[in-house]
Structure 1
Amino acid sequence: MLAGKHLLLIVGGGIAAYKSLDLIRRARAEGAEVTPVLTRAGAEFVTPLSVSSLAGKRVFSDLWDLTDEAEMGHIQLSRVADLLVVAPATADLMAKMAGGHADDLASTLLLATDTPVLIAPSMNVRMWEHAATRRNLATLRQDGIAVVGPGTGDMACGEYGPGRMAEPSEILDAIRARLGGGRLAGRHVIVTSGPTHEPIDPVRYIANRSSGAQGAAIAAALAGLGARVSFVTGPAEVPPPPGVDAIRVETAAEMQDAVTRALPADAAVLAAAVADWRVANASAHKMKKGPDGAPRLEFAENPDILATLSRAPDRPRLVVGFAAETDDVLANARAKLARKGCDWIVANDVSPATGIMGGAENAVRLLTPEGVEEWPRAPKAEIARKLAHRIAEALA
């Protein structure tokens, strides 16, 4: 799919640099030409020989190579490619890009180019969450830089959280999307994610333990394949991924309204853990303890977003629902598939012992008219990519 495309790959100095070797191999397998640039710090993690061997090209690293600079080689390098990819994009490289620095070959190339740029951030969780990095990221996005990842998981430093560089397959999806060759280019997909909060009073609400991680990963994977994604998210722990149209809601009613407004669409993936009930007699004031004991709450059923969408006149061609179960997972998922009228159901066991609800991994069963597929436990980003590619096949 990348035949005839020229990528300039800048490898920054981080432990994730080893993934860049696989990225080179995969990109070349799809027909891309890859010109590698290795920073001085990057060379501490992968060798120029290994990078050069996989790329089939010389590695560039020194701005002051007189043979190249006699003809302003850094200008030429930065403009002959179809896309500049920075993987890993360290906190230092992102800061240089945001500040317009040009004190080595990589930063000079990035400043001298008028070619689109895609970065795959990779760093310690504290560095990723630092205010300076957040400012730099916002600046880069405002400048038109595309971002893929980072993912959440265990760090080489022993910590856990966001900051892991996206996997090579995910970066390749983003490359295809950036170059206009994604499998879902021109398609519109609605994705719902996270919990809903149903108010009891101004300070209390009914919710569940959904982090929104799986829905966000699905939205990112679909956008990586070139889809235009309307991402309807409840108050989730995980922020919306870059490259999607984020629509924030609180309640199930608001989510249903947002989904309806987002139509028409080619597909919809309803991954949100929507509360089944709301408090019909929610108080406008904070409820206080009193001599009469606990307040009596009256419940009303929330709108069934999946069933409503599946039967809508402007129904998407493919509607995918989720079934989060703690007992009789397959039986309950089959019943839900028949009851809701959707095309596919992604079922998972969210019993407390699995650690899936709110965790970094998932294990699912995909129910389609053709049967049941067992997908083994894997990072949620990997489950999302697999689902995105299945959606692309179905819409092809």
Structure 2
Amino acid sequence: MPEGPRLPRYDGPCLSGVVPALLGRGQGPRPAWVPEVLDQARQVVLLVLDGLGWEQLQAHASRLPTLAGAEGGPIASVVPTTTATALTSLATGSPPARHGILGYRLRFGQEILNVLRWRTERGDARRRLPAPTLQPIAAFLGQPVPVVTRAEFAATGFSAAHLGGAQLVGWATASGLVVEVRRLLRAGVPFVYAYYDGVDKVAHAEGLGEHYQAELVTVERLVGDLLEALPSGAALAVTADHGQVEVGSAIRAPSPGLLAAVELLSGEGRFRWLHARPGAAAEVLAAAREEHGDEAWVVTREQVQDEAWFGGTLAPGVAERLGDVALVAREPVAFLDPADTGETRLAARHGSLTDAELLVPFLGLPGPGGV
């Protein structure tokens, strides 16, 4: 059996430690992985570039010279490396084991919740599955932090789950993001969280080719505009929720024999949970290893818990959200869930624990007036 994946150090340079480090800047020893410029700043803007992994930043440094030259380096995302889990860990400062948002599609009873849309097959789940009951940890350590994000995200269940009662400031275009950040800084706000999803959207739709490269040029411009908006004494922090792997048409469908022993599927294409029918867990594990062991780490729920993949002991009630066996892709492939047909159209993906997906940047840059 192949060696297991590299796991995050949740007590070290990890996405779940970013917000606690920034909100506590200047109040104690600075962790070595936090850029010094951020610790010294009076105001900090945290820009989250959804989908821009460390390996992609290094591979395209010529298109992102500002970020490539910034202070800082790679840190780990969380398990799985998917937006729903990673953004919740980032905002709450908690490992997935505590907040319980353990993937893009999560089991609740006999339903699978699409966390980003907060929908099941029965439709909108915001009333039936209220966000605060599924994820009770306050965002930003309970402090009043404004969140500059796309306007259409304000009313979503996922925003309620990972951002709680934060003040949401909407934008429609990247230029609007800059305007809103500038306004907040002029008003004296000490910490601003800004979210941009363009890199991830383009990678999913087009892969990591020409469209992706053009989007990186747009990101370089966005970063430059934000730096110009910083007043004296302010700094820009930049991170991401995960990286990307180009998968294209390399989609693996579980065999009819394997599916016959499976009750439900959850997770995502590169971290697929198989929920076995009663008494069939051993059968599912053996069949999954036989069919997919050459391309994936095939692990049990017990192994994942024993090895603390999610950052510790799971909070009460969270273990029931896991399947019995997980297919965690080692190669550039994805594992199909027949009930989630929209996923088949994704060109680049994430969710697994390869370096391309797990490592993300954590960078600090001063504004024109310095800090």
* TM-score where L is the length of structure 1: 0.26
Q: From the CA coordinates, give the structure whose radius of gyration is larger.
A: 1
Instruction: Determine which structure has greater relative contact order: mean sequence separation of CA pairs < 8 Å that are 6+ residues apart, divided by chain length.
Output: 2
